[in-house]
């Protein structure tokens, strides 16, 4: 089974050097992109069926195709390396382990989009990634590999909304990272009002392999209708939490299997397929194929593909409180439903957990799950926060009620 | 006050963008380095260097969580309270730190050595539970490891003080 994304990574976790990366065929994809040109790269990526790995799964070639024709002015490529979706650590793994793979992907995307300047927006907590990327950029520049591209690392001063692509643009410009209205989309009016493409780290890491091995080969790696492999992960009370590269469309059961199953004495009750802002799926759906369409068909989202397991000894209401406390804290305060609604949700869950909850709190939670649905808020933060809540209210209803009748949490 | 080296670093950052303002968050963090937190004076210095008003710089300083507008201790402990770490430790990691340091979340120890802050997901989910001290990540924490870690920093700080 081919695992192009982590094939070169070393067991000791030391980043792949430029020499080793090139010895394994690194930067050949970039060479091929330079030879064939922008139109051919766009065509290959479209044919490869690459969908964005940041969480939304938007087809990468389609994102690029929304750029207006080159008017000779500046256009930018931005790498979203602000990984802060709770339960998600895949981009860190890719940047720490094989930084040149990302740089090659950036250089190929720059050719496809016509960007001559690129920024990597990296969360500052990823200090090791910053050191590896800076070293790799210096090496690649010295070797003449990034010719025609000015590439900078921008380290974030920290906030979840910096990972929202328009919030990210504001962050780079030195403003509060509140999201922007869409349209206009970044491709039309992005950084400093110029055409800009924002791509996720893992998405870009796929490009060298598509360019080197071809779209057909890439497509054949997947066991879904989309192309490629995926860096999957598992956390929570699983025997061996970690990250694995598997064909896109591997089942959740296969991922859990890689993690060695659940920890001793615990059984799986439900899971979030890909980060904090995805709906819970019950353990009975463990055979779901973890690709964008299959997870959507089963009532959740693939998101970042790093699943979080809820076991039978962990309180689902407590887990939700941890999730909603995060979202309430990260609300930028720009729009009222999110600014006021998320702390309310958090307080209701706190009341239930501490034994002071009433049945009315459960109704208030249900109201919020409806009232903070997509379209009711300025950006996707609050609707994302409602995905685990709405699904939990359905799946674990007896637990919510039990907190009220028992006046406390039976898991404590 | 910003040193010449600070100003050079801000200049170098500003040179990467078509607009100086893009260097603001970096300038604020550079101005924060000497004390560990951003004073009014530091904020004004950073604003002047980048060419924005103090009010504008304040709007940015208060948005980002790694900019500290109030005094912090010599070591900032970020404790992850997001979902993967919460599942593995419940409230016990936060409680253990609070007990060991003798402060609540948001507090600074009376010797000025530690400030304890909650943090959204640190991206160390496969090593949960995890914390970060002064930008260094520590995962797979047990109460014993946590104790050794904090005691180690305390011991070094007191050793330094004894040498002086």
The CATH number that applies at residue A51 is 3.40.50.11540
Regarding whether A206 and A80 lie in a shared domain, the answer is yes
Between residues 104 and 123 of chain B, which touch chain A (CB distance below 8 Å)? 118-123
Regarding whether A288 and A194 lie in a shared domain, the answer is no
Regarding whether A187 and A163 lie in a shared domain, the answer is yes
- B156: closest CA of chain A, how far (Å): 23
Provide the number of structural domains found in chain A: 3
- Residues A70-85: tens digit of each pLDDT: 999 999 999 999 999 9
Regarding whether A361 and A239 lie in a shared domain, the answer is no
A263-289 average pLDDT score: 98
pLDDT at A13 over 90: no
Locate all alpha helices (DSSP H) within A235-358, ordered by sequence.
252-258, 292-297, 316-330, 336-353
Q: What percent of chain A has pLDDT over 70?
A: 100
Q: Are the CB atoms for A306 and A234 separated by under 8 Å? A: yes
Q: Which residue from A127, A243, A318 is facing B126, i.e. has the nearest CB?
A: A243
The CATH number that applies at residue A248 is 3.10.20.600
| Residues of chain A positioned with their CB less than 8 A from the CB of B26 | 155, 157
The structural domains of chain B, ordered by start, are 4-61 (1.10.10), 75-163 (3.40.30.10)
Regarding whether A298 and A373 lie in a shared domain, the answer is no
Q: Is residue A6 part of a domain?
A: no
Regarding whether A131 and A246 lie in a shared domain, the answer is no
Q: Which residue from A88, A152, A326 is facing B123, i.e. has the nearest CB?
A: A88
- Asked whether the beta carbons of residue B123 and residue A160 sit closer than 8 angstroms, the reply is no
Mean pLDDT of chain B: 95
| Residues of chain B positioned with their CB less than 8 A from the CB of A276 | 82-83, 121
Q: Is residue A177 part of a domain?
A: yes
Residue of B nearest to A130 (CA): B135
Mean pLDDT of chain A: 97
| Residues of chain B positioned with their CB less than 8 A from the CB of A311 | 87
Count of CB atoms situated within 10 Å of the CB of A240: 11
| Residues of chain B positioned with their CB less than 8 A from the CB of A127 | 135-137
A93-103 average pLDDT score: 98
Taking phi over 0 as left and psi of -120 to 50 as alpha, with beta for the rest, A335 belongs to beta
Q: Is residue A60 part of a domain?
A: yes
- Asked whether the beta carbons of residue A318 and residue B28 sit closer than 8 angstroms, the reply is no
Count of CB atoms situated within 10 Å of the CB of B24: 29
Angle between helices B54-61 and B24-33 (to 10 degrees): 80
- Asked whether the beta carbons of residue A235 and residue B125 sit closer than 8 angstroms, the reply is yes
pLDDT at A177 over 90: yes
Regarding whether A275 and A160 lie in a shared domain, the answer is no
pLDDT at B163 over 80: no
> What was the ipTM of the complex prediction?
0.96
Domain of residue A47, residue span: 18-220
For an interface test with B, the pick among A94, A124, A126, A157 (most B C-beta atoms closer than 10 Å) comes out as A157
Q: Which residue from A173, A177, A322 is facing B82, i.e. has the nearest CB?
A: A322
Instruction: State yes or no: cis peptide before B129, omega within 30 of 0.
Output: yes
Q: Is 0.90 surpassed by the pTM of this model?
A: yes
For an interface test with A, the pick among B29, B47, B87, B133 (most A C-beta atoms closer than 10 Å) comes out as B87
């Amino acid at each position: 089974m081919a695992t192009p994304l982590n094939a070169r990574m070393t067991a000791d976790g030391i980043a792949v050097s430029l020499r080793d990366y090139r010895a394994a065929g690194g930067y050949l994809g970039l060479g091929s992109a330079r030879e064939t040109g922008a139109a051919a790269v766009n065509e290959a990526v479209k044919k490869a069926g690459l969908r964005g790995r940041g969480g939304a799964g938007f087809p990468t070639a389609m994102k690029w195709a929304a750029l207006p024709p080159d008017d000779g002015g500046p256009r930018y490529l931005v790498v979203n390396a602000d990984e802060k979706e709770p339960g998600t650590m895949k981009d860190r793994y890719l940047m720490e382990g094989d930084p040149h793979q990302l740089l090659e992907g950036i250089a190929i995307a720059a050719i496809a989009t016509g960007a001559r300047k690129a920024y990597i927006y990296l969360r500052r907590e990823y200090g090791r990634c910053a050191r590896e990327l800076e070293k790799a950029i210096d090496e690649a520049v010295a070797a003449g590999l990034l010719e025609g591209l000015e590439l900078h690392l921008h380290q974030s001063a920290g906030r979840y909304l910096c990972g929202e692509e328009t919030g990210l643009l504001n962050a780079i410009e030195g403003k509060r990272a509140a999201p922007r209205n869409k349209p206009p989309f970044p491709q039309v009016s992005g950084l400093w009002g110029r055409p800009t493409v924002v791509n996720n780290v893992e998405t870009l890491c796929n490009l060298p392999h598509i360019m080197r091995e071809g779209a057909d080969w890439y497509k054949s790696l997947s066991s879904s209708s989309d192309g490629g492999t995926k860096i999957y992960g598992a956390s929570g009370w699983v025997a061996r939490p970690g990250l694995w590269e598997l064909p896109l469309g591997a089942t959740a059961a296969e991922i859990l299997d890689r993690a060695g199953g659940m920890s001793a004495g615990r059984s799986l009750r439900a899971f979030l397929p890909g980060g904090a802002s995805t709906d819970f799926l019950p353990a009975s759906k463990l055979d779901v194929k973890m690709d964008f369409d299959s997870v959507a068909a089963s009532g959740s989202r693939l998101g970042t593909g790093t699943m979080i397991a809820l076991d039978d000894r962990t309180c689902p209401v407590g887990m939700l409180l941890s999730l909603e406390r995060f979202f309430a804290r990260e609300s930028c305060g720009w729009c009222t439903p999110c600014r006021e609604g998320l702390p309310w949700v958090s307080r209701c869950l706190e009341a239930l957990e501490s034994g002071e909850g009433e049945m009315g709190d459960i109704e208030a939670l249900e109201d919020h799950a409806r009232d903070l649905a997509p379209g009711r808020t300025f950006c996707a933060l609050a609707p994302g926060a409602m995905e685990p809540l709405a699904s939990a209210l359905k799946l674990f209803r007896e637990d919510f009620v039990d907190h009220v009748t028992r006046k406390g949490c039976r898991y404590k | 006050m910003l040193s010449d080296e600070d100003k050079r670093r801000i200049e170098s950052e500003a040179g990467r963008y078509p607009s100086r303002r893009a260097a603001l968050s970096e300038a604020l963090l550079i101005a924060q380095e000497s004390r560990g937190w951003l004073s009014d004076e530091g904020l004004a210095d950073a604003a002047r260097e980048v060419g924005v008003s103090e009010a504008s710089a304040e709007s940015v300083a208060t948005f980002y969580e790694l900019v500290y507008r109030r005094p912090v201790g010599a070591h900032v402990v970020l404790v992850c309270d997001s979902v993967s770490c919460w599942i593995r430790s419940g409230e016990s990691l936060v409680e253990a730190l609070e007990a060991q340091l003798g402060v609540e979340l948001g507090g600074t120890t009376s010797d000025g050595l530690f400030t304890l802050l909650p943090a959204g997901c640190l991206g160390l989910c496969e090593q949960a539970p995890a914390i970060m001290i002064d930008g260094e990540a520590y995962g797979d924490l047990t109460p014993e490891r946590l104790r050794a870690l904090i005691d180690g920093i305390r011991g070094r700080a007191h050793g330094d003080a004894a040498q002086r």
